[in-house]
Amino acid sequence: MDLRAGRPWAPLLGGAAITTVVALIITLAGSCGPDSPKRQAKPSPRTSAPASPPAPAPPVPSPASTPVPFVAPGYSPLKPVIGDNFADPAVIKVGATYYAYGTNNGDASMPVATAPSPTGPWIKAPADGLAQLPSWADAGWTWAPEVVPPQPGSRTYLLYFSARRKGEDAQCIGVATAVSPAGPFVPVAGDPLVCPLDLGGAIDPASHIDADGTRYLLYKTDARESAAIYLMRLTPDGLRPAETAKRILGRGKDEPVLVEAPDLVRRGGKYVLLYSAGWYFKSNYQTRYAVASSINGPYEKAGRVVQSTGAYGGKIEGPGSADVLSDESGDHLVFHGIQDYLGGSKVNRGMYVTPLAWDGTRPVIRGIAARYEAERARLNGCASTFKRPRASGDKAIGPFDRDGCLVEVPVFVAGTGSYSVKIGYANRSGNASRFELTANGAGPRTVRLRESGGDDWPSTTAEVQLKPGWNTLGLRRLDGRGQIDYLEVR
């Protein structure tokens, strides 16, 4: 989704012939790795991954060439992997190569980039992945592409995209096909796949393939007053509707402006619907999620913000349009964040990638601090919970008045690596105190709790090594006293 209130880009140059040659070069380069795209094709990043072993429908992902996933030099979950304009990103893996697709950027209706890993380095293709638009579409208004790899018995890649319908101030959703993940994608002839003009049009298509192989398309209706997310079952080839679309999610009172950019996966035995809330060109744009036991709903909103400018401490602005990428190393969240404000609704947005893990149906990503209140720790009989009005959650634990007193705090993280642990505390004993911090019983390090006074609740920080999923942070008294308020992991 892009530049809704701005003028269209000028018609794009280039053509399908040039794109075909470049696409062939990119595809051959990708096939030179240990896994050929002809043999291995990663299922759509929005394809479901049930908790129980799935039926043998999607192709098996290519095997990892090393037990440790490659991480590009200089990568950080807080830095864009594509820094210039690459909005509404979606990523698939084919063989040993990752392909990213984005909203039109003035150079291409659908820019394409490739990389050897989700973290990069990403290289933009010189040609347009969608050089030819359908007869119903105006140039310069193609948004939010979604590419689906071939399913068993097929060699066809599908592209779902939104474009402005000629003669209408509204977007519609089209579908195109290709034999290469780099394109050129050729639009299917005829009318758009989805075009509810009475609801302001449709944008943000997202594919979901259920465990039994049934195809679905999600999208957002575009009129502000009635903006909502819809689900529609498709024919087995993914080219036509199989039934009338159903409204599955609308805006909540606590959500800014509207909901959009759906992405559906199956985790923790349920359907998890990620979506964005707010205007994409404002800093309060954010990612949320809802959960359902049936693909048709009802979807219950979790009431949690997965991503926001505030959650990132301002280090990423307006994070949203999230897309789940799955490979042999696990899940990753691909999304965009605002790089530059150009006036009005015009912004440049870069592409980010961060490790993603699941605590049941709850998505957890790197780069965002998660606070764990100390009163929820395993106190092991050596500390008590008491009220402290100025403490986080109005409670703290203590007093840690004997040697060896140990409390344990379970924490959940995404991705292996070094994490910063911020410890909120109070120490009114008159002297500095020392505690030992461990992660999963290893890597002990000493943290110093300086003397504090009055109602102050200062903090200190230490680094620990954690693994994906649940970990246990231990705090053991070495000397002195103190009260622990919270542990915050980033």
Catalytic residues: 88, 260
CA dihedral 222, 228, 233, 239 (to 10 degrees): 10
Q: Give dist(CA 27, CA 180) in Å, integer.
A: 7
Tally the residues of the chain: 490
Q: Give dist(CA 265, CA 45) in Å, integer.
A: 8
How many angstroms separate the most distant Cα atoms in the chain?
A: 79
Could you please report the per-residue DSSP string of 245-303?
A: -EEEEE--TTSSS-EEEEEEEEETTEEEEEEEES-TTSTT-EEEEEEESSTT-PPEEEE
Q: Give dist(CA 230, CA 221) in Å, integer.
A: 7
Q: Give dist(CA 137, CA 164) in Å, integer.
A: 5
Q: Give dist(CA 41, CA 186) in Å, integer.
A: 20
Q: Give dist(CA 357, CA 348) in Å, integer.
A: 28
Answer yes or no: are the C-beta atoms of 207 and 238 closer than 8 Å: yes
CA dihedral 228, 234, 237, 239 (to 10 degrees): -50
CA dihedral 145, 149, 153, 155 (to 10 degrees): 80
Q: Give dist(CA 164, CA 206) in Å, integer.
A: 18
What is the amino acid identity at position 99? Y
Tally of CA atoms within 13 A in the half-sphere of 188 that contains its CB: 19
